[in-house]
Amino acid sequence: MKKHGNRNDDVRTMFTGMYGYGKEYQPARADLGGRVALITGTAGMIGFAAAKRLAQSGCAIAAWDLCEDSGEAKAREIADATGGNVVFYKVDVTDRQAITDAVARVIADFGKIDVLFCNAGGNWGNRKPVYEFDDELFRRNERVNLTGSVVWLCREVIPHMIRQGKGSIIITSSVCGVTGLRNQCGFVGSKFAVSALTRSMALEYARDNIRVNCIAPGSTPRPEDKLNPLWDTVDFENFEKNFSNPENLLYDIPIPRPAEPDDMAGLVQYFASDDAAYTTGQVVCVDGGWTAGFSGNY
């Protein structure tokens, strides 16, 4: 294990050998051959990594994103890298009719949906406490993360899964859907809601052989996110110092590195596979131990 704290080391190689970071991944492979996965938000980091992993495992992928150019490019990249069947659909999940139409097109193209990964979402806010929070951004968090990405989409897909007699639904929540973080109430509310819906949907559809599980990703700042106001307390110039400076939020994360999209992809693959046949209604944090407790010396 390399000692961290050397500012001259590149962030990506700093932790080589630690917790799998920086070395070649030897991803676990599930045999998902012949299955169809619908994944939303595939132009984003987590959606892309999950789509690629499921394609490697043999899934045909219906890749949804709002962003046409990067969505199309990422879908082609996955198809080229894996030789898999990947079809891109431009869909805005805040448009109920668009969801209905696009699910119909996926069924027409692939005949079924075995895996649904409700991943499209975002964190919109002005980083203010509730009494100064932006109303329009508050609403957008709810419309996208809760109502569009989860409620409307699941309503359209579940009848097909019931008909098929089987299905696995995976939802992207956040550590903000498990614990309270300051100054982002639009995001926290929508994510607490989807964490809870994971559990109520698991209860509703267990007898239809549909499992519902949830991933709660932790911190994912990386140098290219420098301009994202969400990470305005992160020191991107001396990145590793974020994990050794008690003043910084990231100090509280026991595994001292940002989350990698592949950390999420492994769990998504597990939930999608038959290895998870008895696992439903679970919200699993992939957060380097962040929400396990306070890591300071109290």
Partner 1 sequence: MIFTFTFDFGGRTALVTDADAATMRTLSLALSRSGTRVALFGRERAAETARELCASGGEAEAFDVDYRDDDAIGKTMDSVLARFGKIDLLFNGAYVVVPVDKRKRLHEFDMELYEEILAQYYHGLYRVTKAAVRDMAKRGEGAVVNIISIRGMVPVPGQTPAVAASAAAVGFTRMWGVELKETGVRVNAVAAGLAADEHASGDRQPLSHLAVPRATKPEDIAAAAMFLASDEASYITGTILPVDGGFQAGYARSF
Phi and psi of 240, rounded to 5°? -65, -25
> Which residue stretch of 28-36, 101-109, 181-189, 222-230 sits at the interface with partner 1 (rule: CB under 8 A)?
181-189
Contact between 200 and partner 1 by CB under 8 A: the answer reads yes
Task: Report the site for partner 1 in 204-233 (rule: CB under 8 A).
Answer: 204-205
Contact between 166 and partner 1 by CB under 8 A: the answer reads no
Contact between 293 and partner 1 by CB under 8 A: the answer reads no
Contact between 159 and partner 1 by CB under 8 A: the answer reads yes
User: Which three-class secondary structure state does DSSP give residue 114?
Assistant: coil
Nearest to 194 by CA among 171, 168, 227, 219: 171
Beta-strand ranges (E) seen in 6-81 are 36-40, 60-65
Task: Report the site for partner 1 in 132-151 (rule: CB under 8 A).
Answer: 132-133, 135, 138-139, 142, 146-147, 151
Contact between 158 and partner 1 by CB under 8 A: the answer reads yes
Question: Could you tell me the smallest distance in angstroms from the CB atom of residue 190 to partner 1?
Answer: 7
Choose which of 61, 176, 267, 268 interacts with partner 1 (CB under 8 A). 176
Length of the chain: 298
Terminal Cα-to-Cα distance of the chain (whole angstroms): 26
- Residues 141 and 125: their CA atoms lie apart, in Å, by 8
CB burial string 132-149: b at 16+ within 10 A, e below: ebeeebbebbebbbbbbb
Residues that bind partner 1 (CB under 8 A): 129-133, 135, 138-139, 142, 146-147, 151, 154-155, 158-159, 162, 176-177, 179-185, 188-197, 199-201, 203-205
